[in-house]
Structure 1
């Protein structure tokens, strides 16, 4: 079950097929530094933001974290989440990427071992053990940039027509 997606859910491969240019730009921003900000919902509904190292591999978008971490318990309770690339420039010269989705807990041995192998290849280090693993089913992508003194917002939403661009 490494690549398929549930009905109505988009794994990363599905997003790359539906909006290839936007998916490549968004992935590039996340992979530029390998760090992201994860937004989850606390038990009382208030937001929590946490640092995370997302991994694009095996046709999916993966979040590994310490077991029983606050962000992990948030995702187990309410799978809705948002990821924002590491922001390093207030002028967004290279763009600002966001991914919204739903986290799906992954616990089968084959997927955990495949993730370990993919992580070791990308990070040149083994996965810190023990860990909890989630796959993100993507519901929305957004890339914000500035071009010709205009704010450019490229986005794709699950179930909608191909990506759109708005200029402001």
Structure 2
């Protein structure tokens, strides 16, 4: 796994387009794993800082407790609907990885902050012409890959 900054250095255009998808709104959706292994969907905000990618939560939030127990996480960008005629859609981005708490886990009154170590980044959008999807995915070992789907 690797950091957001490593991805941005290796694939600056792809990273900028992913970041643009996260910039369309403030509220993202994240998935964590409950203690019994079932998924939990929660809202979150994403911060692209100078030293990496971060998510946070209020003190004692169950999503933070999930991440302390099992750091696997996936975050989905805010979404925007396609144009009414279906000929344009800017797409969506997804980031998966491990969340590492960077605050003091022993302070019950402190909000939680996690740095995300990347295992996968995916950008999906309409192609040109708008009769197919373009799916770009980046993995630390395989790098950037592109495929289409009708």
Same fold per TM (> 0.5)? yes
List gaps (5 residues or longer) in structure 1: 1-8, 109-128
Number of the residue aligned with 1:97: 93
Asked if the contact 1:50–1:71 (Cα under 8 Å) also holds between the matched residues in 2, the reply is: yes
Residue 165 of structure 1: SS of its match in structure 2? Answer: strand
Q: Deviations over 1:48-106 (max 9, x none)?
A: 01111110012211111112101000000000000001123166711110000100010
Partner of 2:118 in structure 1? 138
Aligned residues: 139
Match of 1:37 in 2: 29
Q: Whose helix fraction is larger, Structure 1's or Structure 2's?
A: 1
Question: Are 2:134 and 1:164 equivalent residues in the alignment?
Answer: no
Instruction: After TM superposition, give the deviation of residue 107 of structure 1 in Å.
Output: 2.3
Asked which structure has the greater RCO (Cα within 8 Å, sep 6+), the reply is 1
Consecutive unaligned residues in structure 2, runs of 5 or more: none
- How does the TM-score come out when normalised to structure 1? 0.77
1:50 and 1:144 map into 2 onto residues whose CA distance is 21
Deviations 1:36-55, CA, capped at 9 Å, x for gaps? 10100000111001111110
- Structure with the bigger percentage of strand: 2
SS in 2 for 1:89: coil
- Structure 1: which 4+ aligned runs deviate by more than 3 Å? none
SS of corresponding position for 2:75: strand
Question: Aligned equivalents of 1:107 and 1:96: distance in 2?
Answer: 29
Pairwise CA RMSD: 1.6
